Chains A and B, each alone.
Chain A
Amino acid sequence: MMAHDETPDQLTAALGGLAAPLSLDLTTRLFGRWTTVPGPVGELFLAYTDVGVSYIRTAASVRGRAEVFREHFHQRFNRPLQHVAAVPAGLFPDAARAQEAPVDLRTLTSFERDVLTATREIPVGQVRPYAWIAKAIGRPKAVRAVGTALGNNPVPVLIPCHRVVRADGHLGQYVFGADVKEDLLRAEESNVDEMRALADARRAVVGHDGVVCYPSCDRIRSVPAASRRAFRTVAQAVQAGYRPCERCGPVA
């Protein structure tokens, strides 16, 4: 019986044919690819998978060093990395088309994914408060958790968590520091100075022609200051006879 087992025959030969096809290659599935790309406020280190962009860090945040970026990537994703010369077309478009770029958010919780998906809806050059995101994902009380999820955004800049600000109109914190947040907003021509002046005056929303908006809303930005009326809260504006803008959707 034993001797028979070790003698090649029709059956054992056929079993040898059950090996996986030679053409299967797991490399693409296992490895992240990384490269550097020019960003709106300096160079970015970017990693992507077969699904989409998975990790972005500013050069400053990794001290411009590939090994620091790789170490951060390894700690977060526990996956090997390969360097590539250039990012594939469409993976890191300009801000106007960033919403369409494929991203790989598989390591996140569904709550974190919801937060980031809602954040992608904020138009270029505009900002929304954390509470707006919380409401958009149907979790209006989870404002603090929204902030945590944004702080954990693996692909900043591409998913514009820099466009999410405090309810009082101040810009608030950012994964790469408040200065970088401001730089990013200025680079996309947000009215940062105007928002800051309003926030300092403790005004969060602005009304005009019966409609109340966030100060960065494209409906209100072209309106001269003299024709506007600023309010501390949406509720106060509504009380004064304004209705919330359907474009920027200010939340009470």
Chain B
Amino acid sequence: MTDPDAAVLAAIADDLDAGFAELVRTHQRVVLSVALRVGGRDAEDLAAECFLRAYHALRGYDRSRILALRPRSWLLTILLNTWRNTVRAASRRPVVAVAELPERATAGPSVEQQVADAETRGELAALVSTLPENQRVAVVLRHVVDLPVAEIAAVMAAPEGTVKSHISRGLARLREQYAKEVVR
């Protein structure tokens, strides 16, 4: 666990609402990214539901239980459970929902490059959304939000070898189709 996590957890233990604001600020991008690329449609609803479930749980935790949390893994586990329970129950498939805006702007790529990147992103997002569930979850956690394999194993409740295999197969499948799209 990193130091920022310890500070956020201590803040939650001292004042739940103030600390929770920190938790949201610190982890919302990862939660939203996974909601977007694994869940797809209604990603903001899914991410918000995840945080509200986390809040509900925190209200019932005592100090020692709060301080023992690994917040990112914990939030992502809640997110995936929420998604499986609600969204998948409605048998919805992920789509490219949020506008593919070039967000990492300023000093760097030209406007043309950003537009090209955005188009590529849209295509790649569509490809990711077609991956089988385990491969999609593993690839998104590893390469979209950059989690270490050990943490993905914890979130997916699977051995690291299995996680690596999901990532590897997912990437192979993407690489095959991505090459077709890009080298066109």
Chain A residues within 8 Å of B, Cβ to Cβ: 1-2, 5, 10-12, 14-27, 29-31, 70, 74, 78-82
Within 8 A of A (CB), among B121-145: 121, 124-125, 128, 139-140, 143-145
Question: Hey, what's the 0/1 contact readout for B35-54 against A, CB within 8 Å counting as 1?
Answer: 11100000110011001100
Question: Hey, what's the 0/1 contact readout for B3-29 against A, CB within 8 Å counting as 1?
Answer: 000000000000011001100110011
* A77 nearest in chain B by CB position: B52
Q: Which residues of B contact A5 (CB under 8 A)?
A: 164, 167-168, 171
* A31 nearest in chain B by CB position: B21
Q: Are B32 and A24 in contact (CB under 8 A)?
A: yes
Given contacts A23-B103, A25-B28, A80-B17, is CB(A16)–CB(B146) below 8 Å?
Answer: yes
Q: Does B115 contact A (CB under 8 A)?
A: no
Within the assembled complex, what's the spacing in Å between the Cα atoms of A2 and B37?
23
Q: Does B175 contact A (CB under 8 A)?
A: yes
Given contacts A1-B168, A18-B33, is CB(A30)–CB(B52) below 8 Å?
Answer: yes
Q: Are A19 and B174 in contact (CB under 8 A)?
A: no
Within the assembled complex, what's the spacing in Å between the Cα atoms of A204 and B170?
75
Q: Are A24 and B55 in contact (CB under 8 A)?
A: no
Q: Are A20 and B167 in contact (CB under 8 A)?
A: no
**Further contacts, 18 of them, CB under 8 A, given A19-B33, A21-B98:** A12-B171, A15-B128, A15-B144, A15-B174, A17-B117, A17-B120, A18-B128, A20-B32, A20-B98, A21-B101, A24-B32, A24-B44, A27-B24, A29-B48, A30-B48, A31-B17, A80-B17, A81-B17
Q: Are A14 and B121 in contact (CB under 8 A)?
A: yes
* A14 nearest in chain B by CB position: B124
How many residues on chain B are close to A (CB under 8 Å)?
A: 47
Q: Are B143 and A79 in contact (CB under 8 A)?
A: no
Which of A10, A25, A26 lies at the interface centre, i.e. has the most chain B CB atoms within 10 A of its CB?
Answer: A26
* B146 nearest in chain A by CB position: A16
Q: Which residues of B contact A31 (CB under 8 A)?
A: 17, 21
Cross-chain contact of A22 among B103, B117, B182 (Cβ < 8 A): B103
* A15 nearest in chain B by CB position: B143
Given contacts A24-B44, A26-B24, A27-B21, is CB(A1)–CB(B36) below 8 Å?
Answer: no
Q: Are A80 and B37 in contact (CB under 8 A)?
A: no
| A50 CB, min distance to chain B CBs, angstroms | 11
Q: Which residues of B contact A14 (CB under 8 A)?
A: 120-121, 124, 178
Q: Which residues of A contact B37 (CB under 8 A)?
A: 18
Q: Does B59 contact A (CB under 8 A)?
A: yes
Q: Which residues of A contact B35 (CB under 8 A)?
A: 20
Within the assembled complex, what's the spacing in Å between the Cα atoms of A24 and B33?
10
Q: Which residues of B contact A80 (CB under 8 A)?
A: 16-17, 20-21, 55
* A9 nearest in chain B by CB position: B175
In the complex, the 4 A-B pairs of residues with the closest C-beta atoms, listed nearest first:
A20-B32, A15-B143, A21-B103, A19-B33
Within the assembled complex, what's the spacing in Å between the Cα atoms of A11 and B121?
11
Q: What are 15 inter-chain pairs, A to B, with CB distance below 8 A?
A: A11-B171, A15-B139, A17-B104, A17-B121, A18-B36, A18-B144, A25-B28, A27-B21, A30-B51, A30-B55, A31-B21, A78-B59, A79-B52, A80-B16, A80-B17
| A49 CB, min distance to chain B CBs, angstroms | 12
Cross-chain contact of B143 among A16, A29, A82 (Cβ < 8 A): A16
Q: Which residues of B contact A22 (CB under 8 A)?
A: 29, 103-104
Q: Does B69 contact A (CB under 8 A)?
A: no
Q: Are B29 and A24 in contact (CB under 8 A)?
A: yes
Q: Are B44 and A29 in contact (CB under 8 A)?
A: yes
Q: Which residues of A contact B51 (CB under 8 A)?
A: 26, 30
| B53 CB, min distance to chain A CBs, angstroms | 9
